């Protein structure tokens, strides 16, 4: 894709991990004439001013998007409709409106209705993040080597799509284009259900009465601690993800539970070969992830060695 | 604990990740006069000779333990009975026999019957490891800052227990003493069930027909890849763990599934507050793990930043 990634004015709405990472990257890269940070929280806006990564910072959504060439909504997916409603009347013709939400079908359903004709609406999802949240947690390299999935509506202006793709490429991302429905299924498997499972096992473990919480934490290096990282992700963001990708999450979760029950039966009946075969197959998946540079090959994520 | 950690002859049986890590540490520390490596595999013994971290290397278990002051069985828990049977007649009086198995009740049940009177049998479990296996994967710092759980039988010689504790402390471990039954429950929660869940979700994801395996791997950075690390652990070792800690694993798994079904119902009925409350509680657990230095606070395990 060969679009020219420069925009005169870029407005980021919602300055958490993702919004503040984009803003920080725009301080280093020649992609925007002016960067405006908008957030409904006065406290966040105050912090943005202290951190100094935006040219303007405001809680006034309408003023923030006036004359903007690119507007990116970086709020939890449950808040996308309200953002679109607030900014819709203030958008200029030809502006590109995008987002960074982890669900796409529900974002389209919420936002499109509030956006005026003449605006290019191109939903996006940078598959990047950490377990930390808030304006202090961002860093400009967050998107390096990570995928950014675009889900443009059919018939959307190709030049606008290419320009947004070029912008994300300049931030370090690799681009993939797919439908919102396919996105929501793929991410249910690779992100949403894994997060739910992690939240659940951390919850179960912390509940267990026979064992003090102290012991669960003390001996967490046996495997449990790997789950706690993603179970520390932003509660509001993830509540919204599950409520907004219900169909795909419930479908994948049904399969997961079915498989787990079968495994439970293997254990109860001492069917060791079935366990061994699964554990061999999963090891191969890990190798593929490392071969495709989607993770580090360092033992124990590199935590083990000094 | 103040035992003197030096042994004249230390024999390690089974030279994988753990056995080879102990051997490598003994090359750096003044804890053993002689280190003997034993393994049933000729190929492993050949590799041990090439790597040069033992004074002797042999497939003859009986010869390996003759005159040994400390014998540590570092084999999958399903093989502990066979090891005890092979070495029992060759042990000298006063020797300490230990192991590194991830289950303790079943190790006691398998080994004790084969060990002669006059030998100190002190089961142990260093809660340390990586997803890699085999004699090449070990490193001497593996046990640094990690817990080693001892489960000595009631009435075992206190001096022998202290000496083994001092040995593990010299390898960098922190010592905890508990009963085999309590160990097996705590580890079911903090290690065994998390591994089973990880194996299961990686299996479910790789099965999903609507989505190519390529996409599951491609977008794994959304959370899935965190699970693949522990789902790449040694298949034989983990098959044995589940078959040998059946009762506790099935009990904890039952609770996990129950909690997951409740969460599934929350999603289906749009009960966002319940989700938010759980996700807030799990975030606090993560903070405790980091406060107790059981994991790194680096975002994304430190993978995100260049």
Question: Could you give the CA distance from residue B240 to residue B72 in angstroms, rounded to a whole number?
Answer: 18
- Output DSSP code: residue B2: -
Confidence tier at B306 by pLDDT (50, 70, 90): very low
Q: What is the pTM of this model?
A: 0.92
Same domain, yes or no: A158 and A226: no
The B residues from 29 to 88 touching A (CB cutoff 8 Å) are: none
Beta strands in A170-282 (DSSP E): 174-177
Q: Lowest-pLDDT range, A7-21, A112-126, B43-57, B275-289?
A: B275-289
Same domain, yes or no: A157 and A253: no
The pLDDT of residue B3 = 59
Q: pLDDT tens digit string along A83-142?
A: 999 999 999 999 999 999 999 999 999 999 999 999 999 999 999 999 999 999 999 999
Same domain, yes or no: A159 and A241: no
Question: Could you give the CA distance from residue B83 to residue B60 in angstroms, rounded to a whole number?
Answer: 11
Question: Could you give the CA distance from residue A2 to residue A8 in angstroms, rounded to a whole number?
Answer: 18
The CATH code of the domain that includes B75 is 3.40.50.720
Question: Could you give the CA distance from residue B8 to residue A131 in angstroms, rounded to a whole number?
Answer: 48
Q: Which of A141, A260, A305 is closest, CB to CB, to B305?
A: A141
The pLDDT of residue A5 = 85
B223 near A CB under 8 A: yes
The CATH code of the domain that includes B252 is 1.10.3660.10
Residues of A in contact with B244 (CB under 8 A): none
A175 near B CB under 8 A: no
Q: pLDDT tens digit string along B227-259?
A: 999 999 999 999 999 999 999 999 999 999 999
Using a 10 angstrom Cβ sphere, with 0-12 exposed, 13-18 middle and 19 or more buried, the burial of residue B293 is exposed
| First-residue to last-residue Cα distance in chain A | 43
> Could you give the 3-state DSSP secondary structure of residue A99?
strand
Q: CA–CA distance from A87 to each of A13, A34, A141, B232 (Å)? A: 10, 18, 29, 47
Q: Is residue A279 part of a domain?
A: no
SS3 sequence of A30-72: CCEEEEEEECCCHHHHHHHHHHCCCCEEECCHHHHHCCCCEEE
Question: Could you give the CA distance from residue A175 to residue A150 in angstroms, rounded to a whole number?
Answer: 7
Crossing angle of the two packed helices B272-291 and B246-268, in degrees rounded to 10: 140
**Mean per-residue pLDDT of chain A:** 94
End-of-domain residue from the set B144, B178, B212 = B178
Cβ proximity of A149 and A176 under 8 Å: yes
Same domain, yes or no: B94 and B223: no
pLDDT at B188 > cutoff 80: yes
Q: CA–CA distance from B227 to each of A44, A289, A301 (Å)? A: 33, 11, 12
Beta-carbon contacts of residue B226 (< 8 Å; ≥ 6 apart) = A194, A198, A226, A227, A229, A230
Same domain, yes or no: A68 and A169: yes
Other beta carbons within 10 Å of A28:
10
> Could you give the 3-state DSSP secondary structure of residue B36?
strand
Same domain, yes or no: B174 and B186: no
Q: Which of A125, A150, A286, A306 to mutate to test the interface with B (most CBs of B within 10 A)?
A: A286
End-of-domain residue from the set A151, A178, A205 = A178
Question: Could you give the CA distance from residue B257 to residue A117 in angstroms, rounded to a whole number?
Answer: 48
Rounded to the nearest 10°, the torsion over CA B179, B185, B189, B192 is 90
The B residues from 88 to 107 touching A (CB cutoff 8 Å) are: 102
Q: Is residue B278 part of a domain?
A: no
Q: Is residue B282 part of a domain?
A: no
Cβ proximity of A71 and A89 under 8 Å: no
Same domain, yes or no: A171 and A259: no
Query: For residue B243, what are the domain limits?
Result: 182-270
Confidence tier at B127 by pLDDT (50, 70, 90): very high
Q: What's the number of domains chain A is made of?
A: 2
Complex ipTM, two decimals? Answer: 0.92
Cα A164–chain centre separation: 17
Q: pLDDT tens digit string along B69-78?
A: 999 999 999 9
> Could you give the 3-state DSSP secondary structure of residue B243?
helix
The pLDDT of residue B294 = 83
Q: Is residue B303 part of a domain?
A: no
Return the ∠ at Cα B84 (arms to B78 and B86), rounded to 5°: 110
Q: Is residue B99 part of a domain?
A: yes
CB pairs under 8 A between A and B: 368
Q: Which of B202, B263, B280 is closest, CB to CB, to A200?
A: B263
């Amino acid at each position: 894709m060969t679009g020219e990634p420069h925009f005169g004015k870029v407005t980021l709405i919602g300055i958490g991990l993702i919004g503040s990472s984009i803003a920080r990257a725009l301080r280093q890269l020649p992609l925007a004439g002016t960067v405006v940070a908008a957030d409904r929280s006065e406290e966040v806006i105050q912090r943005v001013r202290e951190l100094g990564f935006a040219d303007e910072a405001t809680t006034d959504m309408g003023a923030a998007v006036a004359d903007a060439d690119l507007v990116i909504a970086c709020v939890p997916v449950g808040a996308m409709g309200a953002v679109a409603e607030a900014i819709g009347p203030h958008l200029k013709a030809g502006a590109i409106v995008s987002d960074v939400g982890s669900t796409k079908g529900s974002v389209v359903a919420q936002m499109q209705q509030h956006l005026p004709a003449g605006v290019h609406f191109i939903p996006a999802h940078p598959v990047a993040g950490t377990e930390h949240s808030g304006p202090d947690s961002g860093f400009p390299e967050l998107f390096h080597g990570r995928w950014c999935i675009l889900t443009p509506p059919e018939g959307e202006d190709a030049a606008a799509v290419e320009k947004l793709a070029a912008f994300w490429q300049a931030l370090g991302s690799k681009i993939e284009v797919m439908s919102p429905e396919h996105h929501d299924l793929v991410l249910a498997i690779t992100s949403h259900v894994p997060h739910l499972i992690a939240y659940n096992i951390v919850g179960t473990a912390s509940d267990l009465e026979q064992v003090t919480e102290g012991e669960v934490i003390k001996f967490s290096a046996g495997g449990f601690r790997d789950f706690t990282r993603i179970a520390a992700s932003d509660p509001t963001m993830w509540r919204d993800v599950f409520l907004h990708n219900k169909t795909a999450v419930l479908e994948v979760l049904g399969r997961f539970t079915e498989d787990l029950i079968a495994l439970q039966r293997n254990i109860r009946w001492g069917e060791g070969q079935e366990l061994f075969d699964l554990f061999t197959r999963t090891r191969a998946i890990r190798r593929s992830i490392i071969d495709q540079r989607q993770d580090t090959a360092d033992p124990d994520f590199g935590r083990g060695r000094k």
